[in-house]
Chain A
C-alpha cells in the first residue's frame, strides 16, 4: 500500500495541481482535445448517419466502419497523425486521430435511430403531405433523439478515455501524469502513476454519469420507458 499513500500525498500537493503543466492545465487540455474531437466526429458522422438512415441505404458501410476502427490500435493513429507533414506534433494531431474513434458510435446510432422509426409513422407523415426534409426534421429526427443521445454519450466517454493515450504520442492531456510517472520508474513515480489513474478514471466516470443525465433529459418523456436498453453499446462495445 506504499504506492497508495504516495498517490494520496501526490494528489494532496497543491503545486501538482496549479503548476504550469500541472493537473489543472492538463485537465483543460484533456477536455479541449475531447470536445474538439467529439465535435469533429459529430460534424462528420451525424449528417452522414442521418442521410444513410433517411434513405435506408449503406447499413453495410456503417457496420464496416465500426468493425474496421475496432481493429485499428488507437496508439497507431495517435502516432501516425503527428508524422504527417501537414499536421505536425501537437494537439491538432490528437484531435484528428481521436475524432476517428468518435465517428463509429455516432454514425451507427444516427443510422439505427432513423431506421427504427416505425414505418407506419413514416406512412402517416407522407400521407399528411410532408416533404422529405420535413419528414426528416419533424418526424424522424425527434424520434431518433434517444439513439443519437446514446451515441453521443458513447462517443464522448470513449474519446475522454482514449485521450489519455495521447500522452504516449506527445499529444498532452491527463495521460501525461501516468506517462511521466512511468518515466520516473515505479519506485519513485509509482504514486504519481496511481494518482494519474485515479484522475482519469474519475473524469471518465464523471463524463459518463453527466451524459447519462443529459441523455435522460433530452429524451422526450413518452420515449423514456420504452428506451431502457442502450443500443449504442451493441453498436460499438469497445473503447480505447
Chain B
C-alpha cells in the first residue's frame, strides 16, 4: 500500500480538473454506494454509541466515584489516534465493516458521555429539591426531570459525535470500508482530482445535513428551550 511509488503522470496532463460532471455522471452508482455505506456506518455508530453512552452517563451521575474514572478513560481514548485504534482492532476483529463500526462507536461514545454528563450535572439543585419534596423517586426524577433538562447537553453531544463520525469514517479505508474515504483514497492513488473533490464535498455536505437534521430534531423535542435559544 505504499503510495510513494504512485506515478505522478497526470501532473502536467491537461485534463485533471477538480470537478467534472462527466465523472459524477459516469460513476454515480459507485458514488451512491459509497455515500450509502458512509451514511449507514455513521448512523449505526451514533445510534449504538448513544444507546451505550446515555446509561453510562447516568451511572456516572448517580455514582459520583465513577465519574472520575469514566472521564479519565474517555480522555485517554480521545488521545488515541484513529489510525492506531483501527490498527489495534484489525488484528483481533479482522478486516471489515465491523472493525470500522467498533472504532467509530468508541469515539462517538466518548463525546456523548462527556456532554450528557455535563448536561446532567447542570440540572439545578433546587429543581431536584422540589422534585424530592413532591415525592419523586430516583427513576421518576431521572425520567421526568433530569433527562429532559439534560437533553440539550445530550443532543449537543450527539451532534458533535455525528459530525465527527462522518469525518472519521473515511479512516476506514485502512480496512476497506471507508465509505466516501474509499473514493478519496482511490482518487489519490490514481492522481485523479475530481474523484477526491467530489467525495470530499459529499462527506462535508453529509455531515452538515445530518447536523441540521439533528438540530431540527432537537428543537422539536425541547420546545421549552426554543425561546431562550433564539
* Known contacts A205-B79, A237-B111, A83 near B196 by CB under 8 Å: yes
* Known contacts A80-B196, A204-B84, A70 near B167 by CB under 8 Å: yes
Cross-chain contact B79 with A161 (CB below 8 angstroms): yes
Task: Give the number of A-B contacts (CB < 8 Å).
Answer: 168
- Within the assembled complex, what's the spacing in Å between the Cα atoms of A85 and B180? 24
Cross-chain contact A237 with B188 (CB below 8 angstroms): no
* Known contacts A170-B3, A204-B79, A237 near B114 by CB under 8 Å: yes
* Known contacts A162-B81, A204-B79, A238-B160, A194 near B91 by CB under 8 Å: yes
- Within the assembled complex, what's the spacing in Å between the Cα atoms of A82 and B191? 9
Interface residue ranges of B1-49 to A (CB < 8 Å)? 1-4, 6, 8, 11
Cross-chain contact B81 with A75 (CB below 8 angstroms): no
Shortest distance from the beta carbon of B32 to any chain A beta carbon, whole Å: 18
- Within the assembled complex, what's the spacing in Å between the Cα atoms of A190 and B35? 29
Chain B: which residue is nearest A70 at the CB level? Answer: B163
Interface residue ranges of A77-126 to B (CB < 8 Å)? 79-80, 82-83, 85, 89
Shortest distance from the beta carbon of B103 to any chain A beta carbon, whole Å: 10
Is A208 engaged at the interface, CB distance under 8 Å to the other chain?
A: yes
Cross-chain contact B90 with A182 (CB below 8 angstroms): yes
Residues of A within 8 A of B224 (CB): none
- Within the assembled complex, what's the spacing in Å between the Cα atoms of A71 and B1? 26
- Within the assembled complex, what's the spacing in Å between the Cα atoms of A232 and B160? 15
- The number of chain B residues with a CB under 8 A from chain A is 55
Cross-chain contact B208 with A71 (CB below 8 angstroms): yes
Shortest distance from the beta carbon of A37 to any chain B beta carbon, whole Å: 14
Interface residue ranges of A18-52 to B (CB < 8 Å)? none
- Within the assembled complex, what's the spacing in Å between the Cα atoms of A71 and B196? 16
Interface residue ranges of A162-178 to B (CB < 8 Å)? 162, 164-165, 167-170, 175, 178
Cross-chain contact B85 with A197 (CB below 8 angstroms): yes
Q: Is the interface of A mostly helix, strand, loop or mixed?
A: helix
The contact of B193 among A72, A83, A193, A197, by CB within 8 Å, is: A83
Interface residue ranges of B190-210 to A (CB < 8 Å)? 191, 193, 196-197, 199-200, 203-204, 207-208
- Within the assembled complex, what's the spacing in Å between the Cα atoms of A72 and B207? 8
Chain B: which residue is nearest A75 at the CB level? Answer: B170
Cross-chain contact A165 with B1 (CB below 8 angstroms): no
Is B152 engaged at the interface, CB distance under 8 Å to the other chain?
A: no
Shortest distance from the beta carbon of B166 to any chain A beta carbon, whole Å: 7
A80, A167, A181, A240 — most chain B CB neighbours (10 Å): A240
Q: What are 12 A-B pairs at a CB distance below 8 A? A: A73-B167, A73-B168, A73-B181, A75-B171, A157-B79, A178-B84, A182-B174, A193-B90, A196-B84, A197-B85, A201-B80, A205-B76
Further pairs besides A161-B81, A198-B84, A239-B78: 4, Cβ < 8 Å = A70-B163, A76-B170, A179-B2, A197-B85
Interface residues of B (CB under 8 A from A): 1-4, 6, 8, 11, 76, 78-85, 87-88, 90-92, 94-95, 111, 114, 160, 163-164, 166-171, 173-175, 178, 180-181, 184-185, 187-188, 191, 193, 196-197, 199-200, 203-204, 207-208, 211
